[in-house]
Amino acid sequence: MADHTPVSSSSTTGFFQQLPKVLPQYTSGAAAINSSQATDDAVLTRLIKQYLPPIGQKDVGKAMHDMSRLVLTPEILNHAVEAETVTPYLRPLTTFGEINENDPLVTCQGWKALKAVGIQSGVVSSAYDGSITSYNRRIYQFLLNHTWHHTSTLTMCPMTMTDGAASLISKHLQDEDGDQPGRLTVLKEYYRRLTSDNQAQAWTSGQWMTERSGGSDVRGTETIATRLSLGASQEGQDCLGQPLGPWSIDGFKWFSSATDSDMTMLLAQTSKGLSAFVVPMRCKAGDGTRLNGIRISRLKNKMGTKGLPTAELELKGARGWLLGQEGKGVREISTILNITRLHTGAGSVSYWSRGLAVSRAYTKARKVRGAYLYENLQHNYWMAGETVKYWGAISLAFFGVALLGCNEQGVGVMGGTPSAALIPNDEIARDLLRLLTPVIKAQVSMAGVAGIRANMECLGGVGYCENQEDGGILNLAKIFRDSVVQTIWEGTVSVMADDVGRVLRDKRIANGRITEDVFAPWVEMVLNSSSQKFPTECAAVQKRLDALLLLVSRVKTNPPQLEYSGRWLLAHIEVIATAVLLLYDASIDNDEVACHIARRYVSFKVSEDTLKQGGDIDWATEAIMDRKIFLGVDF
Ligand code: UCC
Ligand code: FAD
């Protein structure tokens, strides 16, 4: 007879959960291109096929394949743990008590190593590689970054601001020097460095807007830029030996995230109003260098983004160059904002992708009531729902990315891809990008926070712990904390809603009729191509579009009501755009999983279908689909 006498566990005996195996996010090769399930993060295979021609699929496929493996190596994982746990600190004084103007900020090796990996992998430079003309460079860049961002431990923060700064400077590379002699040469060199993938030469940039008086509303900026007299403006060199700009800047910046950067773009007041400046962080001093009129007052103590050196800064005589028109600084810097906002949305889905990867791994490894979690119907239903939301969010974010690439390279660059039909001309690409950028920033960032919370719950108690062991691969608490800030920096959700209001009212954008004359016709055009396969779903989206148009007609000329309705506008535009993108994608090849995801998205997000939640559903068939959606068709 079997002996059923219970045996007690101890710290070294008894049950130990087997470590869940997080799989490489993307796997390239013929199998991955032809099947939606040869890769752990199945939606990536669809995005690649949708937005890139074969040569682009091959290039980015290789880059993502390699990155998906690199981020699981102990070396990179340990850098990430170090960057998270050995936080930056200040050395404000020298041994004998003088102000340390040379190297007051200390960051750890892990942080530096991760920055180097990002630069060398092309997380910024790939978007500026002019030799790539046959496909959308932004799609390449953001797909690559999607496989890196979750592990980069916020080193992507300076990278995204660098991207924005490079984009802004690129708009001024034809400008005359005017009354700022030497500026063009300096800008060209800064641009070369911002877009370099050579670790020895590459620069990163900060972006300083926020002050104590306000980050959303920067009109109260107290930083002042003064034009120097001719003699004074010729003095001094930046760390490269180039002239320092003819403006001297004094004030106090309340948040600076990329404090270890090489330069920054900032806002300061001149006699003509808020203006944008380019400022190198360091200048020549004797045989070495020192900070360029910048003192790090203190580092912020934050809930997350632990490795990121976010500081308060005092500026006294920081020298810089005026960029663009005096008094038009907000308009100038909005070039950066619009790029970093897309990166914020895309970064949020990258964090979320890691959350889901860990959830999949845990579901395959953990048993409850004697069976693996993947055999549990309720669990799979829940996680399939989370996967549907993730597919929706990433689809919307990458449509924005495609539009950005089209703005930079022209819509012709989409030729030969299924998505060419989604973006008929340059004007539509420009206007849709302007409307959707704040929507993506707000809605995807918020959805990501909710998604990662669910992923934490998926793991039970261990999901709530700061798991630094095993390379921190199961540390969902870290990515949760890091994702929360995405709803705040680069403009809060309300500020994004406000920006949508700005777009709706701006007569320079589609004559002030963007919803009526651009967005609605675009939605209807895409619905047309899906209506045969998805008549019920298309009708539901059309109904929601009608509700949006009615709302816009009521609020557009009534500023308080427009303000009141900001979050409704965000939600309407988000779900309508996402639904048409999912329906379009599913119509292309009738992929079983893609079709179910599109249907479920419309059912729960567009129609908010409560009947099905009341049990009016073929649950046994749906349960089979749940597993395919969440864990892949091959599992
Ligand atoms: O948070 C920050 C960095 C953190 C790290 C980020 C890393 C991200 C990566 C994530 C992955 C890890 S930096 C600080 C970010 N701060 C913000 O985002 C500020 C939020 N506040 C706003 O966006 C406000 O709406 C303001 C500041 C833009 C409002 O300023 P104004 O002056 O009151 O705005 P106006 O008067 O409406 O607009 C001034 C001009 C107009 O053009 P003109 O002069 O031609 O009439 C507007 O059309 O600016 C234009 N404009 C824009 N143009 C305003 N916003 C935009 C826009 N988004 N795009 C194009
Ligand atoms: P406020 O603007 O005071 O907002 C308070 C509340 O008012 C919010 O709920 C907001 O939504 C609401 N509100 C504001 N305007 C409106 C409106 N028009 N309609 C409705 N509600 C509104 N800034 C930089 O410049 N550079 C950086 O590198 C940087 N790094 C950061 C790093 C971290 C970790 C954090 C947390 C912030 C960073 N910031 C940086 C600052 C960030 O951009 C601001 O915190 C943000 O823009 C909000 O500004 P605020 O903190 O002044 O809040």
Q: For 418-448, how does the pLDDT look when each residue is reduced to its tens digit (9 = 90+)?
A: 999 999 999 999 999 999 999 999 999 999 9
Nearest to 173 by CA among 332, 327, 323: 323
Yes or no: say if 259 and 311 are a contact pair by the CB < 8 Å rule: yes
Question: Which of 84, 154, 157, 330 to probe ligand 1 with, by most ligand atoms within 8 A of CB?
Answer: 330
Nearest CA to ligand 1 atom 2: 490
Ligand 1 atom having least distance to the Cα of 331: 49
Tokens of 75: 């070396």
275: which strand partners?
268
Say if ligand 2 is within 6 A of residue 335 CB: no
Residue 10 to residues 114, 369, 460, 467, 535, Cα–Cα distance (Å): 39, 22, 22, 21, 60
Ligand nearest to the CA of 344: 1
Host H or E run for residue 619: helix 619-631
pLDDT of residue 36: 47
Say if ligand 2 is within 6 A of residue 259 CB: no
Nearest CA to ligand 2 atom 35: 489
Q: CA-based diameter of the chain, in Å?
A: 100
Q: What is the DSSP letter of 244?
A: P
| Residue 88, Ramachandran bin (φ over 0: left; ψ between -120 and 50: alpha; else beta) | beta
Mean pLDDT, the chain, whole residue set: 94
Nearest CA to ligand 2 atom 5: 216
Q: Round to whole Å and give the CA distance between 263 and 621.
A: 57
Length of the chain: 635
249: which strand partners?
225, 318
Question: Which of 217, 274, 495 to probe ligand 2 with, by most ligand atoms within 8 A of CB?
Answer: 495
pLDDT of residue 125: 98
Tokens of 207: 């972006």
ipTM: 0.99
Q: Round to whole Å and give the CA distance between 315 and 310.
A: 16
Q: Round to whole Å and give the CA distance between 154 and 406.
A: 27
Say if ligand 2 is within 6 A of residue 112 CB: no
C-alpha dihedral sign at 513, 514, 516, 517 = positive
Q: Cα 10 from chain centroid?
A: 45
Ligand 1 atom having least distance to the Cα of 160: 9
Q: Round to whole Å and give the CA distance between 392 and 628.
A: 17
Q: Cα 113 from chain centroid?
A: 21
Nearest CA to ligand 2 atom 22: 494
- What amino acid is encoded at 208 in this protein? W
Ligand 2 atom having least distance to the Cα of 214: 52
Question: Which of 221, 310, 489, 563 to probe ligand 2 with, by most ligand atoms within 8 A of CB?
Answer: 489
Q: Round to whole Å and give the CA distance between 187 and 547.
A: 48
Residue limits of CATH 2.40.110.20 in the chain: 203-329
Q: From the options 1.25.40.10, 1.20.140.10, 1.10.3720.10, 1.10.275.10, give the CATH code of 334-631.
A: 1.20.140.10
Say if ligand 2 is within 6 A of residue 218 CB: no
pLDDT of residue 37: 45
Ligand 1 atom having least distance to the Cα of 207: 13
Nearest to 155 by CA among 260, 262, 29: 260
Encode pLDDT of 164-208 as tens digits. 999 999 999 999 999 999 999 999 999 999 999 999 999 999 999
Q: Round to whole Å and give the CA distance between 434 and 573.
A: 13
Yes or no: say if 591 and 46 are a contact pair by the CB < 8 Å rule: yes
Residues with CB under 6 A from ligand 1: 154, 156-157, 160-161, 207, 209-210, 215-216, 218-219, 257, 328, 330-331, 334, 337-338, 340, 343-344, 347, 489-491, 495, 498-499, 502
Q: What is the pTM of this model?
A: 0.96
Nearest to 389 by CA among 468, 323, 330, 443: 443
pLDDT of residue 508: 97
Ligand 1 atom having least distance to the Cα of 438: 58
Q: What is the CA radius of gyration of the chain?
A: 25
* CATH number of the 203-329 domain: 2.40.110.20
Say if ligand 2 is within 6 A of residue 209 CB: yes
Ligand 2 centroid from CA 213, angstroms: 10
Q: Round to whole Å and give the CA distance between 162 and 144.
A: 17
pLDDT of residue 497: 98
- What amino acid is encoded at 329 in this protein? G
Yes or no: say if 60 and 88 are a contact pair by the CB < 8 Å rule: no
- List of the chain residues with pLDDT < 70: 1-2, 30-38, 610-615
Question: Which of 145, 337, 404 to probe ligand 1 with, by most ligand atoms within 8 A of CB?
Answer: 337
pLDDT of residue 485: 98
Q: Round to whole Å and give the CA distance between 154 and 377.
A: 36
Ligand 1 atom having least distance to the Cα of 210: 14
Yes or no: say if 186 and 238 are a contact pair by the CB < 8 Å rule: yes
